[in-house]
Structure 1
Amino acid sequence: MSRPPSPTLPENSERMSSDRVKSTSNDPLHLQADVLVLGGGPSGAWAALAAAEDGARVVLADKGYLGTSGATAPSNTGTWCVPPGENRAQAVERRWQRTGGLADQRWMLRCVDQAYENLVKLSEWGYLFPQEDDGRLYIANLRGPDYMRFMRRRVLKAGVTVLDHHPALELLSNGDAITGASGVDRQRNRDWSIEAKAVVLATGGCAFHERILGATGLTGDGYLMAAEAGAHLSGMEFTGKYTLAPYETSLNKGLPYRWATFYREDGSPLLDANGEQVSNGIGERERDIAKALIDGPVFARLDHAEPALQDWLRRGQPNCFVPHDRAGIDPFKDLFRITLRAEGTVRGTGGIMLATADCGTGVPGLYVAGDAASRENMTGAVSGGGAVNSSWAIASGWWSGKGASTHARKSARNAFRSISKPLGEAGLRPAGNARANLRTAEIIEAVRAEVIPLEKNYFRDGTTLHTSSERLESLWNDVRQHLHAEGVDRVRSRETASITASARWSLASALARNESRGMHRRGDRPGNDPAFARRILVSGVDAITIGEAQISREGIAS
């Protein structure tokens, strides 16, 4: 892979290495690049690699540290890995049957093709995949810590300038196209701005500050930035994905519960409507567990796992057993308390609508990848889980990086001479007088009270949705009118605005989808309605507009 030239440094900028900023100056940092990638998860890393391979000068700015931040880094994850051949179309068809009729098989096939190609690239680059018993590489499995550490090295080797701990606060625009972004360097408490001919949003989804692995920084930042630029969001009603986890832990790995039985606090078996004991918490029985958790504590035991399977689970999902080992619990013999962790749009479906095959957003110069994008084309109304989402991160990252690089080449040579303005408002520039007594933690908890509880988000009805929506509108008014911060504290205020905005879009979409489909469960509207076999779009920031997506022959929403 050829090494592209380093990003241009204006006269008032500091020379940077591709790994870290050398200077300790508090003067603002200014850079110029062809492509700016915001986010350091797998989709951001793949986007940066694709753009650099295409000859672009690339800067990647991450809220955390590229290689350790995001939901993939602390976990093992499978991929949707289907080798070339006739079985590929059959695998896509089988998967499509589970998507509530909202996915698009053309996009699914594209994703499988690209993800497989890039997994092979990983092997060729030297990533150490596990081996099958017959010696073949098992490229369907990615060990999060190893995978992301490898991707960091590869990104740096490609000549990408990496800015760790540089969260973006807002996009820049010249009125015709996105021209970069600005943010804050947390370690040096200074501002940064990067002029770019194209920007890729790989900022992840929104976990609404739920305590799940790797989700601390997943606050919907990209959604708000894109909406401020005029982009649409799609699938935001599909946030009802919850995962079983040991009580008071951050684990969100549900696989072991396939071999579990469940009990109430008094030790009596948890029974379903037919009087049978609830076992296998993956799938349809999850609803019975959710209902029981609303009433009181629920316990589990992994007593359906045979000894050989127990060993396989411990080797394949080692982090799932750390809390049990620390507490002196044998989960295959002992009862342990469980909960359901909300996963928002991280394992949900919603995100920024795709307007072009190369992951453009419809806003010139703005591209999107990974969980920041809507995954309706891939998973429809159901969760992509780890495997499909992992392959989507690889494929969409690659496409968006190529698309952004192509756009940058087509931009005029004087692209950096235009006057840009920042687009950020809520959490940065209040419409009214700033209020010092407006606490971000209190706002976030108030938002969580409307989008996390099982009785409001797992089980929905129109009355509850309306009430929650009204409360969120009141919270948004406070955020928009009065929330303000200075310096590094702007990161928290901006995250608060993004979480609140994401919740509003989610509930607005849920009210518009007047049926039950996939993760969207309406007790007052049970069953699918053929009239809603379509995408629900939301746009706007202060005033939300609801629309419907029209799908072109190429599978592109508009």
Structure 2
Amino acid sequence: MAVRSASTGSDRLQADVLVIGGGPAGAWAAFSAAQAGAKVVLADKGYFGTSGATAPSNTGTWCVPPGEGRAHVVERRWQRTGGLAEPRWMTRCVDRAYESLLRLVEWGYPFPTDDTGQLYIANLRGPDYMRFMRRQVQKAGVVILDHHPVLELLSDGEAVTGAAGIVRATGADWTIDAGAVVLATGGVAFFERILGGTGLTGDGYLMAVEAGASLSGMEFTGKYSLAPMNSSLNKGLPFRWASFFGPDGRPLLDRDGHPLQNGIGAAEKDVARALIRGPVLARLDLADEALQDWLLKGQPNCFLPYQRAGIDPFRDLFEVTLKAEGTVRGSGGIRLATDDCGVGVPGLYAAGDAATRELMAGASSGGGAINASWAIASGWWSGHGAAQHARRRCAAAAFRHQSKPLGRAGLRPSAAARPVDQAAVVEAVRSEVIPLDRNYFRNGPHLDAALARLDGVWDEVSGHLVGEGRDRLRAREVAAVTASARWSVAAAAARGESRGMHRRTDRPETDPASARRLIVDGLDVVAVRPEAEAVIAGERAS
């Protein structure tokens, strides 16, 4: 499968399907493609099984058994999506995810048991789950390339035909000629310090747009999670039982004058407003002893920061913050054009957080159960679709040597290459998409000013930034985060209402006429347009 070039020392490999990314979506995509008879390579920026947002987490799934109640569950969830999700996709996801959870049972995955001794298949413990999936993918014959980040896609002018990247250990180049590519690269965390977020820099978004794909839902990046200060934790469940206090230890009050409690409910906005004013302290004093025991056993990673700091969170006051989660728990990503997760560019597919989750979550967050099931289902569909496309393209394999690289910013600047202060770029980008008073609460003038500033940053990055050797990876990550911020702010500026995670203080009402998804296109010039009605076989296709 591998051919080493004598002149460059680089590796050139061939595959039917290349899967980029090693989270659950990538795992299921690789397995699905292999099951469909394809020769599959999976390339991960980190170590497949440990990288990404799922590996360090304990996550549930949207696990709904077949039956009459399933339609009711889907409808009830749809009511929370701001009218932007599609019940057909939601039902498909539930179906596919449930079948795959049963497959995990058949494989022997160690699901926990409930009080009656029955397997509780809705729960997946991240480290166990991803280690288990790595073994299954290996058994399926997939070639795994750990620590092989992808820098750019390849195209022959008609279809995506592979990708190129580097080996982190040596900086050596590698290229994979493939019949189809699945982007399972995760979302973008904008360099925020959250669990599993280090490598989530929007790489897939940048590569997809360079290939001609569009994005959708990028305005929905206003998902934040409460966390103890100075930690990477972004699992906010315990704060359902929290009370909140000012720095003087006095209880904070909500807008109705009641004690501020339950920070993951409706009171989250009050917590955000208080944090904008100054430090906020919390205590999990609404949890009784039985609940405390349940929390400690069921969410152990949530309490490690407290233990390390010598804090008893049920009795001691501790400072908190709201951690921005970008599209990791937002719903934006690469727009899907087909039922098998094709993105409208021949040979290119997207899955998991790399793809938009508007179809599932709309304007709300799919974080946790919805995203976990979406990763399974979209991974399966994209892998199968990619395998079928590769099979159709096999007759053209002899012409793949004519493929050209598509990467631009960070690799091939549009103007003269010169040193760019990447740390300053990151700081400038984060200043627009992380602060609560700019991204949690938004308004038109601030969004317009932010977009103008980000356009200037992008001009510097796209025009001049270039990396050498291993530094190419960081340059591409900086370029991808910058591009993702522009797309997010541009979409937010175009949505002239409040809906779900998109909260505009100047336009607080939801406009029924705006219940349409916003499509984002372009690199140097960003364009935002409402999604047009597209009917295929009597149903919306997107």
Task: Give the TM interval when normalised to the shorter protein.
Answer: over 0.9
Please give the per-residue CA displacement for 1:317-368, whole angstroms capped at 9, x wherever unaligned.
0011111111111111111110000000000010000000000000000000
**Cα displacement (A) at 1:443:** 0.6
Question: Aligned match of 2:416 in 433, 450, 453?
Answer: 433
CA distance in 2, matches of 1:283, 1:542: 39
CA distance in 2, matches of 1:111, 1:482: 43
* Aligned partner of residue 431 in structure 2, secondary structure: helix
Of the candidates 157, 178, 182, which is equivalent to residue 160 of structure 2? 178
Task: Name the aligned partner's letter for residue 331 of structure 1.
Answer: P
Shift of 1:555: 3.2
* Deviation sequence 1:377-412 (CA, Å, 0-9, x none): 100000012110000000000000000001111114
Q: CA deviation at 1:416?
A: 3.9
CA distance in 2, matches of 1:536, 1:322: 40
The 1-side partners of 2:470 and 2:530 are apart by: 38
1:200-215 → structure 2 map (5 Å cutoff): 200-215=182-197
Partner Cα separation in structure 2 for residue 127 and residue 543 of structure 1: 47
1:140 counterpart (101, 122, 128): 122
The equivalent of 1:21 in structure 2 is: none
Q: Is the 8 Å Cα contact of residues 217 and 518 (structure 2) preserved in structure 1? A: yes
Residue 379, structure 1, aligned to residue 364, structure 2:
no
Corresponding residue for residue 480 of structure 1: 462
User: What are the superposed Cα offsets for residues 476-524 of structure 1, whole Å, 9 maximum, x if unpaired?
Assistant: 0000111011111000000000000000000110011000000000111
The residue identity in structure 1 corresponding to 2:418 is: R
Contact 1:61–1:167 under 8 Å retained in 2: yes
Q: How does 1:482-497 map to 2 (within 5 A)?
A: 482-497=464-479
What amino acid is the match of 1:421? K
Any idea what the Cα deviations from partners look like across 1:168-206, whole Å, max 9, x if unmatched?
000000000000000111112200100000000000000
Following superposition, the deviation at residue 146 of structure 1 comes to: 0.3
For 1:68 and 1:441, how far apart are their aligned partners in 2? Answer: 27
Number of matched residues? 538
Which of the residues 5, 9, 29 maps onto 2:2?
Answer: 9
> Is the contact between residue 49 and residue 158 of structure 1 (CA under 8 Å) also seen in structure 2?
yes
Task: Report the Cα distance in structure 1 between the residues aligned to 2:115 and 2:249, rounded to whole angstroms.
Answer: 41
Q: Which runs of 5+ in 2 are unaligned?
A: none
- Which amino acid is 2:377 matched to? A
> Is contact 1:351–1:373 with CA below 8 Å preserved after alignment?
yes
The CA deviation at 1:13 is 6.1
Show the 5 A alignment for 1:362-401.
Answer: 362-401=344-383
Instruction: Identify unmatched segments of 5+ residues in structure 1.
Output: 1-7, 15-24
Letter in 1 for 2:254: D
Provide the C-alpha distance between the structure 2 equivalents of 1:27 and 1:13, rounded to a whole number of angstroms: 5
Distance 2:108 2:423 in 1: 44
What amino acid is the match of 2:541? Answer: I
The 8 Å contact of residues 106 and 555 in structure 1, kept in 2 or not, is answered as: no
1:196 matches 2:178: yes
Name which of structure 1's ranges 362-371 and 523-532 shifts more when overlaid on structure 2: 523-532
The DSSP-based 3-state class of the residue aligned with 1:522 is coil
Deviation at 1:307, TM superposition (A): 0.7
Residue from 99, 122, 127 that aligns with 2:109: 127
Q: Deviations over 1:77-123 (max 9, x none)?
A: 01010111111111101100000000000000000000010011011
Q: Which residues of 2 match residues 95-494 of structure 1 at below 5 A?
A: 95-418=77-400, 419-436=402-419, 438-494=420-476
Distance 1:149 1:329 in 2: 32
Aligned to 2:249, the other structure's residue is in SS state coil
Contact 1:107–1:555 (8 Å) recurs in 2: no
Counterpart check, 1:70 vs 2:52: yes
Name the aligned partner's letter for residue 2 of structure 2. Answer: L
On the 8 A contact 1:232/1:352 being kept in 2, the answer is yes
Q: Report the Cα distance in structure 2 between the residues aligned to 1:543 and 1:216, rounded to whole angstroms.
A: 28
How far apart in 2 are the matches of 1:123 and 1:320?
27
**What is residue 513 of structure 1 aligned with on the other side?**
495
Partner of residue 540, structure 2: 555
Match of 1:5 in 2: none
1:60 and 2:42 equivalent? yes
The code of the aligned residue for 2:329 comes to R
1:279-318 CA-to-partner distances (Å, cap 9, x unmatched) read: 1111210000000000100011111111111111011100
Alpha-carbon distance in structure 2 between the residues aligned to 1:369 and 1:298 = 38
The offset of 1:26, in angstroms, is 7.9
TM-score normalised according to structure 1 size: 0.95
Match of 2:75 among 83, 93, 112: 93
User: How far did 1:239 drift?
Assistant: 0.3
Structure 2 counterpart of 1:9, which letter? A
CA gap 1:298/1:26 in 2 versus in 1, 3 angstroms: farther
Residue identity opposite 1:432 in structure 2: A
C-alpha displacement of 1:231 = 0.4
User: Match for residue 514 of structure 2?
Assistant: 532
Aligned-pair CA distance for 1:414: 3.0
Q: Give the 3-state SS of the residue equivalent to 2:539 in structure 1.
A: coil
Query: In the alignment, is residue 522 of structure 1 matched against residue 504 of structure 2?
Result: yes
Q: Which amino acid aligns with 2:244?
A: F
How far does residue 551 in structure 1 lie from its aligned partner after superposition? 4.3
Separation in structure 2 between the aligned mates of residue 285 and residue 67 of structure 1, nearest angstrom = 36
Q: Does 1:37 align with 2:19?
A: yes
Answer whether contact 1:195 1:416 (CA < 8 A) is retained.
no
Structure 1 residues 463-488: Cα deviation after superposition (integer angstroms, max 9, x where no partner): 00011111100000000111011111
Partner SS, residue 193 of structure 1: strand
What is the alpha-carbon root mean square deviation over aligned residues? 1.2
The change in CA–CA distance for 1:435 and 1:117 in structure 2 (over 3 A counts) is same
- Alignment match of 2:28 (pick from 11, 27, 46): 46
Post-superposition CA distance 1:20-73 (Å, at most 9, x none) = xxxxx9811100000000000000000000000111000000000000000000
Per-residue deviation at 1:210?
0.3
In structure 2, C-alpha distance between the alignment counterparts of 1:193 and 1:370, rounded to whole Å: 24
Partners of 1:326 and 1:488 lie apart in 2 by 34
Q: TM-score, normalised by structure 2?
A: 0.98
Evaluate the alpha carbon distance shift between residue 27 and residue 425 of structure 1 in structure 2; reply closer, same or farther with a 3 A threshold. same
Name the CA distance, whole Å, in 2 between partners of 1:46 and 1:416. 29
Contact 2:328 2:367 in 1 (8 A): no
1:9 shift after superposition: 3.3
